[in-house]
Amino acid sequence: MMIQKPGDSVSPTTGNVRTGLYDPQSIEPKWQEYWLKNKTFKTEADPSKPKYYVLDMFPYPSGDGLHVGHPEGYTATDVVARFKRMNGFNVLHPMGWDAFGLPAERHAVRTGEHPAVITRKNCDTFRRQIQSLGLSYDWDREINTTDPDYYKWTQWIFTILFERGLAYQTEAPVNWCPALGTVLANEEVKDGCYVETGDPVEKRMMKQWMLRITAYAERLIQDLDRVDWPESIKAMQREWIGRSEGADALFKVAGKNCQFTIFTTRPDTLYGATYCVLAPEHPLLLPITTLDRLAEVQAYVEAASRRSAQDRMAAEREKTGVFTGAYAVNPVNGKEIPIWTADYVLAEYGYGAIMAVPAHDERDYEFARKFGLEIIEVVSGGDISRAAFTGDGLLVNSPLIDGLPVPEAKKKISAWLENQGLGKATVTYRLRDWLFSRQRYWGEPFPLVTLEDGSIQAVPIEDLPVVLPPLEDYRPTADGQPPLARAQEWVNFTDPRTGNALKRETNTMPQWAGSCWYYLRFCDPQNRKQAWSKEAESYWMPVDLYIGGAEHAVLHLLYSRFWHKVLFDAGLVSTPEPFQRLFNQGMILAHSYQDSSGKYYYPHQVEKSGEEWLVKETGSTVRVQVEKMSKSRYNVVNPDTVVRELGADSLRLYELFMGPLDREKPWTEEGVQGVHRFLRRIWALFVTEPGDLHPRIQNDSGDHAVTRILHRTVKHVTRDIESLDFNTAISRMMEFVNAATKADRVQKDDMERFLLVLAPFAPHIAEELWQRLGHKETLAYEKWPDYDPTLLIEDLINIPVQINGKLRDTVQVPNGSDSEALIAAAKESEKVQRQLEGKTIVKEIVVPAKLVNFVVR
């Protein structure tokens, strides 16, 4: 298909547009319609052109619509997309909806209406709002994760994971959230609560689907070196994966025919192990407990299981534990040491069992002190009567490794353990497998069937998608099964080909599933035969620039990297990493007004009186604070209002002018007004009040100083877009407008170049003025202007003159003056002469074109 070349089929309407006043309400819809009808931003893979893939983290279309935080990232990527197009790149810039999720399901439970209905409504709202901002998406590529034509392929990718042994079902302690009625992944739980809502989470034994992300732990760490991401995000992923090197060691239980393995990062301290601890959930715990201690241990285990993850995790909590009565045999010296159970040892990490070396581990030290356990120093250098010593030193009291420094001792003892068949050097990760099933309706059904013999098979690709059945009631069943269990005919059915009775899985996939691969579908969104074609994937991938919030650092960004690597191993994608360059925009905050009782007020309910802010009606004082936008704080700014009152270009410009993209910044009404004034000044530069082209714009003559500033502006804006410093790019354009406004005559050519650099930021006004300058086609594919470096060189430059590093004067000299000339000019300055009086110059420092500094005595 051809890209419809702008201008030919749909001509912009006139109507009330051709007036002399800047009127975004008429020009913005006009150009939005033009872009949409002409498919100005439609893209096709074209191997003859260099590609650029610039992607936003697609939104969950909530019922509240957009707030001004969303368009910050969208505007940034749009500027880059438009800039790259003008620089000859074939740009892929798509948008879609991550539309599975709990709010729509809750709505369905309440109303009985299918969640697809409210989802469609919300997507329509989001699309309308996003389109009103003039973002240059290729709308023919719009995708929706809840569309069966989309989730067919999500299910297909799951079957790939399943067939590669990376999806398995297991009965394990999982994070159960009673408020949500579903289990959650580790990544979704923090401090024993669901990260989104703060609802408490408890441990429960359940049979669940897991994805073997741990099999990719090493590569997920290693390949972070390949991508251009913020260090903070890389660090978060590294910490989450939590690689640690150490050794396994086998401890026999004295007098019993059993043993357990522990993991330690300090095998060098093995001689200092004075007790062992099994987690309360450890399978060996009750079997080894002696009769006299059994009641106590059982009580402890029970108490631990009841304790919420929240208080179990609390670091300040004093350590607790009980002795089992059993002893373990230290593999290095045969010494028998007591086995305890304590909840400071976590069942999920390592083997759920540790050797305790109180002399060299703070936690063990605290525990040993509390329970009067032995403390043996094996690394010298500390004072173990006062505290655990965790630093480096020489080994003592350790026959096999005495005198060695810690690193060598670790190596030697690990080798010794391996030799004896009692352990070996190993690497352990903090990362756990990904709990992948949810007890919900509004998610992708698992493409799996259980046969009568209990075996599980993937649904073949030709039978995909497994479509969600409609339900009358979207609640879980009375006996606690997921909502899909209500669709009995859907769950239990007969295979038409074999006549076998089959049973479907009633869990659904988590919301993360659809976003794990959407960037691939964008490459080839309408492909009915495949999730994507090889040609499209290898042309567009990887994503060159990915912008979104930092809250996805270890969720979406880790999960999608994992899927991508599986697809890479399956030969289905050509790059090891999906997102080459990542950038996190900072949150947009807003002022909120709260009285002493904690009640919030809307901005229109308060007013400033002197230094204080008062509630208009009551006159009581309120506190002004800068906080995250939220409905409950009455401080949400709706982009619709801003677009209606000041226009999309003002909104776009302000989103970027507020400050550096990665920083948190407060929204202010005055700030938007400020950039709106800037746009009006631009308009007035080109158009007179009656609506004619401004007479200051001349074809062949203009203020040369303005031309120079223009070229400087082009240079800086170009550089600033590339480094994502949009705020300074805009201030450069403001400088140009200030200079051009003061000039009597400006050259048309300069003004056109200015419109081209303005266009990525404020495309509507730029298109409108471009048209009024006589152009028939959109400027979206005009060549990005060059600048002439020779025009950046000033004839005369101001050179600061310092004396002992203090600024005393500036002198004007011809550009290119050599050191002697600079010194001579500096010495001619009266102010400098006055300062030099009676002093001796001991050194003259000259930085050509920069400064002169006299060091005097």
Partner RNA sequence: GGGCGGGUGGUGAAAUGGCAGACACGGGGGACUUAAAAUCCCCUGGGGGCAACCCUGUGAGGGUUCGAAUCCCUCCCCGCCUACCA
Q: Tell whether residue 282 is a contact of RNA (CB under 7 A).
A: no
Residue of the chain from 98, 649, 725, 750 that contacts RNA (CB under 7 A): 725
Identify which of residues 267 and 447 has a Cβ nearer to RNA in the complex: 267
Say whether residue 264 binds RNA (CB under 7 A). yes
Q: Are 388 and 367 in contact (CB under 8 A)?
A: no
Give me the sign of the Cα torsion angle 805, 807, 810, 811.
Answer: negative
Subset of 168-197 contacting RNA (CB under 7 A): 190-191
CB of 46: closest distance to RNA in angstroms?
36
Shortest distance in whole angstroms from residue 820 CB to RNA: 18
Q: Which of residues 674-693 bind RNA (CB under 7 A)?
A: 674-675, 677-678, 680-681
Q: Residue 788 interacts with RNA (CB under 7 A)?
A: no
Which listed range, 53-61, 497-505, 659-667, 769-777, lies at the site for RNA (CB under 7 A)?
A: 659-667
Hey, what amino acid is at 603? P
670 near RNA (CB under 7 A)? yes
265 binds RNA (CB under 7 A): yes
724 Ramachandran zone, left/alpha/beta (phi>0; psi -120 to 50): left
Q: Which of 5, 164, 370, 663 binds RNA (CB under 7 A)?
A: 663
Q: Could you tell me the smallest distance in angstroms from the CB atom of residue 257 to RNA? A: 25
* Token digits of residue 491: 């769950």
Query: Any idea how long the chain is?
Result: 857
- Residues in 424-443 at the binding interface with RNA, rule: CB under 7 A: 428, 430
Shorter beta-carbon distance to RNA: residue 106 or 363: 363
Q: Does 244 participate in binding RNA (rule CB under 7 A)?
A: yes
Name the residue type at position 508.
T
Q: What is the CA radius of gyration of the chain?
A: 34
- Tell me the H-state helices in 576-657: 639-645, 648-657
Q: Which is nearer to RNA, 4 or 741 (CB)?
A: 741
Least spacing, CB of residue 446 vs RNA, in Å? 28
Window 288-317: residues binding RNA (CB under 7 A): 312-315, 317
Query: Rule CB under 7 A: is residue 718 a binding residue for RNA?
Result: no
Give the pair of three-digit tokens for residue 139.
């709308």
Quote the least distance from Cβ 796 to RNA, whole Å.
11
Residue 727 sits at the vertex; the CA angle it makes with 723 and 729, to the nearest 5 degrees, is 65
Question: Interaction with RNA in 360-399: which residues (CB under 7 A)?
Answer: 361, 363
Contact 271, 332 (CB under 8 A): yes
Instruction: Choose one: 112-120, 517-525, 733-741, 776-784; the region binding RNA (CB under 7 A).
Output: 733-741
3-state helix, strand, coil in the chain (%, to 5): 40, 20, 40
Nearest in space to 55 (alpha carbons), one of 557, 740, 704, 497 = 557
Interaction of residue 280 with RNA, rule CB under 7 A: no
Element (H, E) at 419: helix 406-419
Q: Which of 731, 772, 773, 775 binds RNA (CB under 7 A)?
A: 731
Q: For residues 139 and 349, which CB has a smaller minimum distance to RNA in the complex?
A: 349
Name the DSSP class of 253: E
Residue 537 has φ and ψ, to the nearest 5°, of -65, -45
Which residues, at least 6 apart from 806, have a Cβ–Cβ distance to it below 8 Å?
A: none
What is the Cα–Cα distance from 531 to 429, expressed in whole angstroms?
33
When binding is defined by CB under 7 A, the residue of 45, 172, 236, 615 that contacts RNA is 236
Question: Whole-angstrom Cα distance, residue 549 to residue 58?
Answer: 11
Please state, in angstroms and rounded to a whole number, the distance separating the CA atoms of residues 417 and 422.
5
Query: Are the C-beta atoms of 169 and 183 separated by less than 8 Å?
Result: no
Integer Cα distance of 261 and 252 in angstroms: 9
User: How many chain residues touch RNA (CB under 7 A)?
Assistant: 83
Q: Binding to RNA by residue 42, rule CB under 7 A?
A: no
- Min separation Cβ 394 and RNA, Å: 20
Q: How far apart are CA 521 and CA 156, in angstroms?
A: 13
From residue 125 to residue 164, the character string flagging contacts with RNA as x (rule: CB under 7 A) and all else as - is: ----------------------------------------
**271, 273, 276: which is closest to 400 by C-alpha?**
271
For helices 763-772 and 24-37, the axis angle rounded to 10 degrees is: 90
Q: Which of residues 741-760 bind RNA (CB under 7 A)?
A: 741-742
For residue 402, the minimal CB distance to RNA (Å) is: 21
Considering the complex, what minimum distance in angstroms separates the CB of residue 506 from RNA?
30
Q: State which of positions 789-808 bind RNA (CB under 7 A).
A: 798, 800, 802, 804-808
Closer to RNA by CB, 92 or 832: give it. 832
Q: Is 346 in the site for RNA (CB under 7 A)?
A: yes
Indicate whether 69 belongs to the interface with RNA (CB under 7 A): no
Residue 210 burial (CB count, 10 A): 20
Candidate ranges 418-426, 496-504, 562-570, 651-659; the one touching RNA (CB under 7 A):
651-659
